[in-house]
Structure formats: C-alpha cells, structure tokens
Structure 1
Amino acid sequence: MLVISKFRAYVGILLCLIASISPMLKVPFKGSWNLYQLDSRLFFITYGMIAVCLFFFVIRRLAGFRLMVIVLFVWYFLCIGAVYFKVNNYFNFKLADKLLAKTLHFQWGWVVLFLGIVFLLFSVKSTKVVKEIN
C-alpha cells in the first residue's frame, strides 16, 4: 500500500513551480534566463510532466504519481545534460564554443527544481498492510 505525505508533496510542487521563474543560466549582456528562455520544448515537457504528477496527486492515484515522479527525476538529469551540451557545442567551432562555455554559468534555479523533485520523490512511501484476525 502506498502512503503519501501531503506536506512534502505540496512543498515539492510549490518548489517546482517556483523554479519556472527562477534563473537557470546566466548569459552575459542579456541577464539571467529561466527554463523557458533556454529552450521552450524542455520547459513545456518538464512542466507537462509536473502537471501530470499534480493530476495523479489530485485524483489520488499514488502508483501513477510515483511513476511520473521517477520519470521526472530521470528527465531532470537529461535536461541538465541537454543544456550542458547545447552550451558547449553551440557553434560547432571549437574556439567559439570554449569561449561561450566559459561565459555562461548555471544558476540556482536548477537546485530549486531538483529540491522540488526530491521532495516529490520522497513524499510517497510503501507500507505493509497488516490484517488482524479476531
């Protein structure tokens, strides 16, 4: 039987929503970019997954909620990898790519998103059902 900690789930969802407006990448002369400004496809896929997690949470399908949170956890690392490789191989010109990689810096928004996903991940736990025989 799956049991959910509603407080952890609410905090996780709130942190994931806060991460949508927090800076993800610092770009010189342009300022800080959030996930939507980095890549709109990554933004919509990520927040589509968060919306599906929220849907499963609301209708109390904890197995689906747990599965989507695990998928979201894996997707987070794929997102970081995609942004990292996009920054380091943007121009396909070695000198320009190294220069660009040294000027762009990851920001604290990635940490907020990761904490939100970890809160969601640890909000569901499995317990054993004990039947009493009278």
Structure 2
Amino acid sequence: MRIPIIGSWNYFDIDQRLAIAFYVLVVIGLIGAFANKAGLIKLAGWGGIILVLITLAGIYFKAHDSFSFLHFKKLINFGAGMVKLKWGWYVIAAGVFILITVRKPKVVLATEVVEVK
C-alpha cells in the first residue's frame, strides 16, 4: 500500500497481529489442501475474508490517523483518499474468495463397460 508523505506499508506495518493471524489461516488452508479436507479449506477462506475486511477497516482508520496532523477535515479526507492499494491486496482478496468455493470431490461409479472397436 502506498501512502503519500508516509511511504509504503505492508501487512506487518498495519498490524502485526492481523498479519500473523492471516498467515496462520494460510497455513491452515494449505494443511487442508494437502489433507484433502474441503471443510478446513472453507474455514480458512471465511476466516481470511473476515481478516481482509478487518484489515481494510484498519487501513482506513490508520490512514485517517496518519493525516491527523492536518487541522482541516477536508484535507484529512483528501490525504486519506490518496491511499492506493497495491496489486498484492487484490490477489489476497481474490484468493480468499476462491477458497470458499472449494467442494468435496464427487465420486462417480462407472457400471457399464464400453467397448471401443
């Protein structure tokens, strides 16, 4: 995330607890993928969505706090509005939405044998 005057923030600069919780959810999702547990993957996906929403709210409040040295509300809102999310945030959001679409694989039993001539 790029913020004018302040510089760039990554996940750990916003809140370390949120970043660690998100990475724990990523590990839980990976364990679920390797163990073929769709429920565990969905749990990690829903938890990731909640953490992304909390993080976006944290970005909003931290950006407003960073520009609180300005005395005029319009300038504070203008400065906080200049915050630009980098491409990685969109990848994170897309990834957690993909995780909640995981389903258990269906087993298909073939009862007929088709001969090919």
Moved over 6 A (4+): 91-94, 127-133
The structure that has the greater radius of gyration is 2
Deviation at 1:50, TM superposition (A): 1.0
**Structure 1 gaps, min length 5:** 1-24
Which has the larger share of strand? 1
Pick from 83, 99, 107 the counterpart of residue 85 of structure 2. 107
1:118 paired with 2:97, answer: yes
Larger relative contact order, structure 1 or 2 (CA cutoff 8 Å, min sep 6): 1
Report how many aligned residue pairs link the two structures: 108
The AA in structure 2 aligned to 1:111 is Y
- The RMSD of aligned alpha carbons is 3.1
Pick from 33, 36, 58 the counterpart of residue 12 of structure 2. 36
**Structure 2 gaps, min length 5:** 112-117
Q: For each residue in 1:44-103, what CA deviation from the matched residue of structure 2 results, as whole angstroms up to 9, or x when unmatched?
A: 111111111111111222212112211211221121112212222458778377645533
Pick from 42, 45, 62 the counterpart of residue 66 of structure 1. 42
Does the CA contact (< 8 Å) of 2:44 and 2:99 recur in 1?
A: no
Percent identity over the alignment? 25
